[in-house]
Chains A and B, each alone.
Chain A
Amino acid sequence: MYEANTDLLFEQFIKQLEDEKKYISCEVLEHINHELVSLKKNTQENTDTDRKIDSIIGQIRKVSSELRPVLFEEVGLKISIEQFIQPLQDKHDLFITTDIRYKKELGKDHELQIYRIIQAALWDIISRAKAKAVKISVVSQPGEVLVTLKDNSFRFERENELRKAYNPGGLSVIIARSKAIGGKTMIQSGNDGTSLMISIPIPLKK
């Protein structure tokens, strides 16, 4: 009987999903915005039409950046994470610190998955955990990159939430995403909070 390798399937599924997001964001939406700028050039400044075009350009940008961090490959993991957390702090009254000492040993696909994992974990903390602060670290160590999100939410409550299967922002998705890049996920709870740790092996140079 044929048995599908679910890990491999998920890895391929994630890759395809990210490729499609990149195509829509970088090709389709950017093309539409360029067309709108051309249209704007034939429009008188400060008229209703001119302002409407600006507003559509803004909305398209928003959709595009929600789909995918803008120019992720070129901007890099550190700046992309630091900029992503800025508005979250005020909006959700969550104190977020970062410690990113990553030496770019992984490929861009892996870096994007790290970004997605941090994004999912942060949304989970915001929507479910009663944390006041989070510390995000991405640190290169011999043979691995260690991603840690340490929050000061209440111990067991948080661990139980994280362990719930099918929790869309929760552990199942984070584990699956980290597996897709060969990573291992661990949770540690103590009186001072909860730590989510993902260890991603650095591939040996050929």
Chain B
Amino acid sequence: MTTFLIADDHPFILIGTKTFVESLGYHVSETCTNGLTALNLILSKKPDIAILDISMPGISGLELLERLRKEQVTTKVILLTMHNEMSVFIKAKELGAKGYVLKENTTEELSDCIQQVLSGKTYVSSRLNAYTSPEGEENNPGDTLTFAERKIIKMIAEQRPSAEIAEMLFISERTVEVHRRNIIRKLQLPKEKNALLIWALKNIK
């Protein structure tokens, strides 16, 4: 039987999450409202899954993840949090979190998240506030390029050599060459000399 621990310092949310997880047919063996208690319970009871809040008294969900990693505990951690922030997610991922769900989307996402994590995969909320570049016009091949690549191709269209581009953007000439190769690959340009320059002159205003 899969065992769960849930930790959240907001009693209403804790009860709500426990009721929700139990309604999915799982067994919640432990609940607590403090990060330190959660750590001790995970170390002693070794539940399969721990659903943790991030901001908690004692230690936070992120510090807890770090401690579990050091102790090489096999419990899989799902963070259920109010923080819709890419920086927090990146840190959580770095520390080995398997799932990241926002509290306001518990009913829509937690069930899928648990299933994914149980099957050995990871889950990230689809509502995570990830920064994406503004969308360009449709069918414009330049849209698939990253910000750095778009900036560089603009400078190629201004007929600037790689060395000058590198100097202007504070990057190495080698990095410019890597970007050029990636642009050529993404735009599926022929491998002829000056193919990129010709494309840039024609397509970049």
Q: Which residues of A are in contact with B by a Cβ distance under 8 Å?
A: 26, 30, 33-34, 36-38, 40-41, 45, 53-54, 57-58, 61, 65, 69-71, 74-76, 79-80, 82-83, 86-87, 89-90, 93, 95, 97, 132-135, 150, 152, 192
Contact = CB atoms under 8 A, between A and B. Distances in A.
A70 B87 contact: yes
Nearest to A81: B87
Given A79-B91, A83-B90, A37 B170 contact: no
Given A40-B104, A95-B151, A86 B131 contact: yes
Nearest to A192: B167
Contacts of A71: 54-55, 60, 62, 83, 85, 87-88, 91
Contact of A34 (B13, B60, B171): B13
Interface residues on B, range: 20 to 34
A197 to B, nearest CB: 14
Interface of B: 10, 12-13, 16, 54-55, 60, 62-63, 82-88, 90-91, 103-104, 107-108, 129, 131, 133-134, 147-148, 151, 167-171
B169 A83 contact: no
Contacts of B131: 83, 86-87
Main SS at interface, chain A: helix
Contact of A75 (B10, B12, B84, B87): B87
Contacts of B90: 75, 79, 83
A5 to B, nearest CB: 36
B170 A90 contact: no
A70 B88 contact: yes
Contact of B91 (A36, A41, A58, A75): A75
A133 B129 CA distance: 26
Contact of A30 (B60, B63, B82, B147): B82
A74 B60 contact: yes
A61 B13 CA distance: 18
Contact of A69 (B87, B103, B129, B170): B87
A95 B133 CA distance: 14
A38 B12 CA distance: 7
Contacts of B148: 95
Contacts of A93: 151
Contacts of A86: 86, 131
A69 B13 CA distance: 25
B85 A135 contact: no
A65 B85 contact: yes
Nearest to A137: B170
Given A54-B104, A71-B60, A97-B169, 7 more contacts: A37-B13, A37-B104, A45-B107, A61-B85, A71-B85, A74-B91, A192-B167
